[in-house]
Structure 1
Amino acid sequence: MTIGIFATITPHPEHREAVEQALRLMVQHSRAEAGNLRYDLFQRDDGLTFDLFELYVDEAAIDAHRQSSHYQHYRAATAGWLSAPTQVRVANALDVAPLSQSGE
C-alpha cells in the first residue's frame, strides 16, 4: 500500500538558508532509497516555510528512511534551527497518478 507523508518545516529566519541546504541534501539522498517513490521539496509564499511531499511503497520503506544516516544527520543538524516542531501527516494513498517513467 502506497503511503504519503506531508511534512511542514519552519526554520528561524536566520537559519532559513541552512535549513534549505540541509533539506536539499536530504532530498537527494532520500530519492535514492529503494522504497521511495517521490521526495519533493516546496517553499511557501512566505519565503520561510518548507513543505515535503514523500511517497513510499510501504511502512517498512518509511522505517528505513527514518533510520537512514542522512535522515538522522538532517535531524541532528537542524534541531536548533527550527522555530516549531516539524508537522508530519501520514496518509494512505487512495488514488495516485502513475509515476512518470521519463522523470517528469
Structure 2
Amino acid sequence: MNISVFASIVPKQEHVKDVEEELLRMVSASRKEPGNLRYDLYRISEGPTSFHLFETYDGPAAMDAHRASAHYQNYRAKVVNWLLSTPDVKVLSAVEAAS
C-alpha cells in the first residue's frame, strides 16, 4: 500500500535560500531511492516563504528507509537552526486516488 507524506517547512527569512538549496539536494537524492514514487517540492506563491514537499512511497519500509538515509539525516542536521518551527509533517493514506 502506497504512503504519501505532505510536509510544510517555514524557514527564517535570512535562511530562505539556504533551505531551498538543501531541499533541492534532498529532491534529487530522494527521487533515486528504491520505493520512492514521488518527491515534489513546492513554494507558496503568496505571503511569507514556505516550502512544501509531497512524497509518495511504495510502502512503510520505503518511507522508513528514506528517513534513515544519509541525505535525509544530513538535511535535518543542517536546517534545524534555519527554520521558524519544526516542520509540519502529515502521513496520508488514500481514501480515493488515481492509480
User: Could you say which TM-score interval applies, normalised by the shorter chain?
Assistant: over 0.9
Match of 1:69 in 2: 70
The 4+ residue runs of structure 1 with deviation greater than 4 A are none
Moved more, 73-82 or 86-95: 86-95
Match of 1:96 in 2: 97
Match of 1:24 in 2: 24
Q: CA offset at residue 95 of structure 1?
A: 3.0
Percent of residue pairs identical = 48
Q: CA offset at residue 47 of structure 1?
A: 5.2
Q: How does 1:1-104 map to 2 (within 5 A)?
A: 1-45=1-45, 46=47, 48-98=49-99
How far apart are the structure 2 equivalents of 1:31 and 1:41? Answer: 11
TM-score under structure 2 normalisation? 0.95
How far apart are the structure 2 equivalents of 1:93 and 1:63? Answer: 18
Q: CA offset at residue 93 of structure 1?
A: 2.1
Q: Size of the alignment, in residue pairs?
A: 98
TM-score under structure 1 normalisation? 0.90
- Gaps in structure 1 of 5+ consecutive residues: 99-104
Considering only aligned residues, what root-mean-square deviation do their CA atoms show, in Å?
A: 1.0
